[in-house]
Chain A
Amino acid sequence: MDHIVLVGASAAGLTAADTLRREGFTGTLTMVGDELQLPYDRPPLSKQVLAGDWEPHRSALRQDTDIQRLDMNLRLGCRATGLDTEDRVVTLADGDRLGYDGLIIATGLRPRRLPFGHDLAGVHVLRTLDETLTLRAQLLAGPRVVVIGAGFLGSEIAATARGLGLDVTLVDVEPAPMARQVGSWVGGLVGDMHRDHCVRLRMGRHVTGMTGQNGRVTAVTLDDGSRLPADVVVVAIGSVPATDWLAGSGLPLGDGVLCDRTCRAAPGVYAAGDVANWPHPVAGRRVRLEQRTNATQQAITAAGNLLSGPAEAVPYAPVPFGWTDQYDAKIQTCGWCPSDATVEVVDGDPQARKFVALYKVDDRVVGALGWNSARALREYRSHLTGNGAAR
């Protein structure tokens, strides 16, 4: 194998590059990314960077010298626009065509948008460093913030904006924040925490529109007719896999790039990170994870499998792990925490905001959640196998 191309210059793409070099690949490595910055990390964006606690460069994933040591052709600020899996060519926005022997797709997600409002100044999404810095500047200028969507990201943004002393309203169609991700019981505790910090919660409500004046947002309207005055609106209603550039490539696409259990999508083509959808061998169904640890772990496996070839390839069967930081709470999950599971506290005390809970479906433990209990959660994590079932 002489030339490997990585598309997507972030957590998964960079880990793939690291892995390829560590495992002895000495051929040509080209990394294509449509952002201008050297690879940086996303979790700090909605936390330390938005809060202003970190200078933006602290979110860099590697020192410049470590990037140089990987000896790559870096094509930053350059979008991949097409893929031909027959001739093994990636097309770039500037017209260049990159032939490859191996390809790793790590293009992540793009934020979903509402069908209205995004043409107004003051209405934001948050996925990139540039978007974070723009939003931060706006937050510092505008006291009334409405966050639409109370998943992990929206809840974090609400917490960070409160930390900046702003007037914050958090809106979601679900009955509680993060209910879809961690169920309504823990979601209720998250809601209590936001209320304790004086965030106004409008749960179970649809946003029906936005109003503006002179091209700038002034309010968000809800389905009960209420009107929330706003200087800044953040839309955090989820993301979609960035696979638009793969249309017509012949790759199987669905909710992401559809891979086999070894992360392979076509001969010589692998995917990793938020964009990759694969049949989890232990869970017994297709999954796609939007978690930082997965980007690293999956890229290590995908890059290893690309080098070893299909005969030696290993299936990818991780125990999922995610976290969120809001106010003084560090909430971590491992395995699966479906909203229909029975939740049982096994350690600590929810009132004291320090506990571990197990998620059970049909009496089988499928996941665990720790609230300010990283160490205790880890003990339970090592008892989970890939499908979350107790060993």
Chain B
Amino acid sequence: MKILIDEGKCVGAGTCVLAAADVFDQRDEDGIVVLLDADPPHTSLPQVRDAAARCPALAIEVVE
């Protein structure tokens, strides 16, 4: 699995962190998403998919 993020679209909602805290975090200054693990283990796929689906800015793309 590979995760792509579009920082320019991210609105800092943090929904992704609530869905998959091992994979996403937010920058302190502006809340923009930080990818902690761009190639996480397959076991986290459901959470990562859920994060991508719930991101209100559609800033997360999951390539399986």
In the complex, chain B residues 7-58 whose Cβ is within 8 Å of any chain A Cβ: 9, 11-15, 17-18, 26-31, 53-58
What CA separation (Å) do A374 and B29 show in the bound complex? 8
A374 partner, pick from B31, B55, B56, beta carbons under 8 A = B31
Contact with B12, one of A62, A297, A323 (Cβ below 8 angstroms) = A323
- A372-B30, A375-B31, A378-B17 given as contacts; is B54 within 8 A of A332 (CB)? no
Complex Cα spacing A20 to B57, Å: 20
Q: Across the interface, do B58 and A332 meet the contact criterion of CB distance under 8 Å? A: no
Question: How extensive is the interface on chain B, given as a class?
Answer: 20 to 34
A22 to B56, CA, bound (A): 18
- List chain A residues, Cβ under 8 A from B14: 374-375, 377-378, 381
- Main SS of chain B's interface residues? loop
A292–B31 CA distance with the chains assembled, in angstroms: 17
Is A43 in the interface zone, CB < 8 Å from B? yes
Q: How large is the interface on A (under 10, 10 to 19, 20 to 34, 35 or more residues)?
A: 20 to 34
Interface string of A371-384 (1 = CB under 8 A from B): 01111011001100
Q: Within the complex, what minimum Cβ distance (angstroms) separates A105 from chain B?
A: 20
Distance to closest chain B CB from A108 (angstroms): 15
Interface membership of A41, Cβ < 8 A: yes
Contact residues of A: prevailing secondary structure: helix
Given contacts A15-B53, A293-B15, A374-B30, 7 further A-B pairs with CB under 8 A are: A11-B56, A61-B58, A297-B54, A323-B11, A375-B14, A378-B14, A381-B14
Q: Chain B residues in contact with chain A, CB under 8 A? A: 9, 11-15, 17-18, 26-31, 53-58
Q: Identify the A interface with B (CB < 8 A).
A: 11, 15, 18-19, 22, 41, 43, 58, 61-62, 292-293, 295-297, 300, 321, 323, 325, 330, 332, 372-375, 377-378, 381-382
